[in-house]
Amino acid sequence: MRLMTSSNTTNLPFMKMHGLGNDFVVIDARALEIPLSQALVRAIADRHTGVGFDQLAVIKAGDADAHLTFYNADGSTSAACGNATRCIARFLMDETGQTALHLTTDRGDLFAVDGGGGLTSINMGHPQLDWADIPLAREMDTLALPIPGSPTATGMGNPHCTFFVEDVAGMDLARFGSAHEHHVLYPQRTNVQIAQIVGPDHIRMRVWERGVGITLASGSSSCATAVAAARRGLTGRRVRIDLDGGTLDIDWRDDGVWMTGPTMHVADGTFTAQFIGAFT
């Protein structure tokens, strides 16, 4: 991808991708420097006057195969985004012919492999289980927080709060998620999951993402929920998680939490100089 000159500014190529309906705008900045203001990120995120996304991801050159940076729809940043990482890993594998990649993020080093059958696997690293690493506002047991419903806190490079409930379909996730995203125990806000145990290796989950709202899927939320369920003895360490947009397989191994699922490269497009110039 390259920038195309138009008047006094430039057009900006992008890709639209999704993993189970968790959708992304991806900008390839390996060969150029792209200034992204918070206003521009928000404008791109608008599904009526922009393109729309749950997260925006930027691919940059680095010491590894690539470095990834993530933005939420409200313009805030996130250190991790599992489904976007899988989508980009698949794009880079198709581009290079590699079947294994070393990626870096603000979360740390992540490793991706071709899962076969069109699936892509990513090691999201070890979960953060200590209150200070998640982070929480003060020292406490992260297995059962002092919040009605006794949710479990987990860090996956971003904070998570997982509630285990009897029936995810019967809950008002919009009200529930928005009420807990800004809970005082989470100084950086939190992703909120409601999870229903279907069996010893099967979970039904819905998610509210901080800075975004309800999403059809979330990779880091799926990893956090699998870790929380295993810690509480509700499941084993390898589970199938059914989300609103499809299914992910999560495997909490000794070397980290592995996530496997499908990806889709939907389209390529270009932001016009007029659009970019309105927000820069």
Sorting pLDDT into bands at 50, 70 and 90, what band is 48?
A: very high
CA dist., res. 250 & res. 257, Å (int):
7
> Residue 9: pLDDT band by 50, 70, 90 thresholds?
low
pLDDT per residue as tens digits for the range 75-88: 999 888 999 999 99
* DSSP symbols for the chain: ---EEETTEEEEEEEEEEETTEEEEEEE-TTS-----HHHHHHHH-TTTS---SEEEEEE--SSSEEEEEEETTS-EES--HHHHHHHHHHHHHHH--SEEEEEETTEEEEEEEEETTEEEEE--PPB-STTTTT-SS---TTS-SSTT--EEEESSSEEEEEE-S-GGGS-HHHHHHHHHT-TT-TT--EEEEEEEEETTEEEEEEEETTTEEES--HHHHHHHHHHHHHTTSS-SEEEEEETTEEEEEEEETTEEEEEE--EEEEEEEE-HHHHHTT-
Give the model's pLDDT for residue 181. 97
pLDDT of residue 280: 78
Q: What is the pTM of this model?
A: 0.91
Residue 123: CA atoms inside 13 Å, Cβ hemisphere, count?
17
- Nearby residues of 85 by Cβ (< 8 Å), 6 or more positions away: 57, 68, 103, 105, 110, 112, 122, 124, 219
The tens digit of pLDDT for each residue in 181-238 reads 999 999 999 999 999 999 999 999 999 999 999 999 999 999 999 999 999 999 999 9
The mean pLDDT of the chain is: 94
pLDDT in tens, 223-244: 999 999 999 999 999 999 999 9
User: In order of start, what are the domains of the chain with their CATH numbers?
Assistant: 4-124+264-277 (3.10.310.10), 152-254 (3.10.310.10)
